[in-house]
């Protein structure tokens, strides 16, 4: 039980170390992997098809999420003005 708690704390600490780009790629990979596994499993009626679909979907999801990220981000100053910067 102690090992599990230590691993959970370490995982949560490392989760905060991602950049916005890495976070976007991860979420795209998770969504694409889930959708690919579902489609692959239904289309092939086998676990192998679900695994292959999940892998292909995760790769495609990460690539699509990275290529569609916005080029400019914004933030607010203390005075309430919106400022734009490169992401």
Domain membership of residue 45 (yes or no) is yes
Domain membership of residue 51 (yes or no) is yes
43-73 per-residue burial string, b: 16 or more CB within 10 A, e: under 16? eeeeeebbebbbebbbebbbeebeeeeeeee
Domain membership of residue 3 (yes or no) is no
More confident residue, 86 or 15: 86
Domain membership of residue 69 (yes or no) is yes
Domain count, the chain: 1
Q: 32-68 pLDDT, tens per residue?
A: 999 999 999 999 998 999 999 999 999 999 888 888 7
What is the distance between the terminal CA atoms of the chain, rounded to a whole angstrom? 41
Q: What's the pTM?
A: 0.59
Domain membership of residue 16 (yes or no) is no
Q: What contacts 69, CB < 8 A, 6 or more positions away?
A: 20, 21, 24, 87
Domain membership of residue 64 (yes or no) is yes
Note down the domain range covering 30: 21-73+80-87
């Amino acid at each position: 039980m102690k090992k599990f708690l230590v691993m959970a704390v370490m995982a949560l600490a490392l989760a905060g170390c991602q950049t916005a780009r890495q976070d976007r790629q991860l979420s795209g990979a998770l969504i694409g992997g889930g959708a690919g596994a579902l489609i692959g499993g239904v289309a092939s009626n086998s676990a192998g098809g679900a695994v292959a679909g999940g892998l292909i979907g995760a790769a495609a999801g990460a690539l699509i999420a990275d290529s569609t990220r916005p080029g400019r981000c914004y933030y607010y100053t203390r005075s309430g003005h919106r400022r734009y910067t490169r992401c």
